[in-house]
Structure 1
Amino acid sequence: MPVSAIELPALSAVDAQSRQLALAATPSELHGALCGWLAGGGASVRDWPGKVLADNDLGTPDNGSPLDQLRLASAAQLSDRSFEFSLLLPDADASLAERSGALFDWCRGFLSAFGLAGASANALSVEGREALGDLAKLAAAQPQDDGDEEDEEALAEIEEFVRVAALLLHGDIVLAAQHRQRLN
């Protein structure tokens, strides 16, 4: 199925189900954690919230639910070679503070679950190690209250960097391993 047919569910739907399951993460942080888990070599399984949040007591999303759709779309987008991977972030009409805060949450989630998945820094390319370091800096950043057009452009560039960094890390860990298996 082409990636364009597998879209992320709405942020509001992910938020509603996250609250229903009492998940202690924002929707963006949760998506970042899912993507970090997948990029680090973790399996795309229905009980992923417990794995990426390191809490095996968390409930398993129902088949077809927003969190299950999030898993399926994210796994498909990361594996697709068309680079149409997208981040679950607030819409452009949200404030700069809200959007930048969600992006930094996404990075925090990605980093924590990337480590939980057991990805080895030794398996990363030089670019992958640099990208991981840059994601760590973004994860430590604080949102800005307000900004101008220049700040809006900077945020768009950072979002694009994060998107490409996630694809690069997934490529280094998952796609490279799959390629090596095919060669053997």
Structure 2
Amino acid sequence: MAELPPIADVAQASLRAGLGADPSELHGALCGWLCGGGEDAANWPAKVLADDALSAPEADGPLDELRKASVAQLEDRGFGFELLLPEIGESLNDRADALFDWCRAFLGGFGLSAGAKPPLSEEAEEALHDLARLAQAAPESSDDDEDEHALAEIEEFVRVAVLLLHGDCVLAPRHRQSLN
């Protein structure tokens, strides 16, 4: 399965490219774009961040690898999709902040590519609303095991919601097209 590049490498590449987004936001926006039916394009930052002045990342650099791995993970039938978030060693608050930022960016990318009324199943519609609620959340200051477990559950929910939206907006239309 394709692996996401290290978060530090994505952070450096984002800084060099002047993208003004942290790695989790970039990954969220990219995944939202792809899940909404946006094209897999080498110049994805310009599309995903809605800024035509942005140039395409260097071929096979961390941002290009992020795109390739994200596409491969979303297409993986084994549900190997992962979120690019800070490591477990980071503070719980920082990781929760990154997850909520990921959700906000996902919604932005999804909206750009899917439009106002994407063809969603009832489950996907509910998942999208839940992601919107998470995007409005802010972590409470805590570092206990119960909160650690809750964050892991939320992360798993986001993973499944993303795959559900990708299924409705990308895989289902592709399947219908192949039947015709």
Normalised to the residue count of structure 2, the TM-score between the two structures is 0.97
Q: Which residue of 1 aligns with 2:95?
A: 99
Residue 151 (str. 1) matches residue 163 (str. 2): no
Q: Which residue of 1 aligns with 2:71?
A: 75
User: 2-side partners of 1:127 and 1:169: how far apart?
Assistant: 9
Amino acid at match of 1:20: R
Q: Given that residues 96 and 144 in structure 1 are in contact (C-alpha distance below 8 angstroms), is that contact kept between their aligned partners in structure 2?
A: no
Amino acid at match of 2:104: R
Amino acid at match of 1:149: D
Q: Which residue of 2 aligns with 1:113?
A: 109
Q: Given that residues 118 and 169 in structure 2 are in contact (C-alpha distance below 8 angstroms), is that contact kept between their aligned partners in structure 1?
A: no
Amino acid at match of 2:8: S
| CA positional deviation for 1:120 | 5.2
Q: Which residue of 1 aligns with 2:5?
A: 9
Cα deviations by residue, 1:81-123 (Å, 9 ceiling, x for unpaired): 1100000000111100110000001001100010001345351
Residue 179 (str. 1) matches residue 175 (str. 2): yes
User: 2-side partners of 1:119 and 1:182: how far apart?
Assistant: 23
Q: Which residue of 1 aligns with 2:60?
A: 64
Count of paired positions: 180
Q: Given that residues 14 and 23 in structure 2 are in contact (C-alpha distance below 8 angstroms), is that contact kept between their aligned partners in structure 1?
A: yes
Amino acid at match of 2:119: A
Q: Which residue of 1 aligns with 2:162?
A: 166
Residue 20 (str. 1) matches residue 16 (str. 2): yes
User: 1-side partners of 2:118 and 2:107: how far apart?
Assistant: 16
Runs of 5+ consecutive residues of structure 1 not aligned to the other structure: none
Runs of 5+ consecutive residues of structure 2 not aligned to the other structure: none
- Between the two proteins, what is the percent identity of the paired residues? 59
Cα deviations by residue, 1:25-68 (Å, 9 ceiling, x for unpaired): 11101000000000000011110001111111112101100000
Q: Given that residues 121 and 129 in structure 1 are in contact (C-alpha distance below 8 angstroms), is that contact kept between their aligned partners in structure 2?
A: no
Q: Which residue of 2 aligns with 1:36?
A: 32
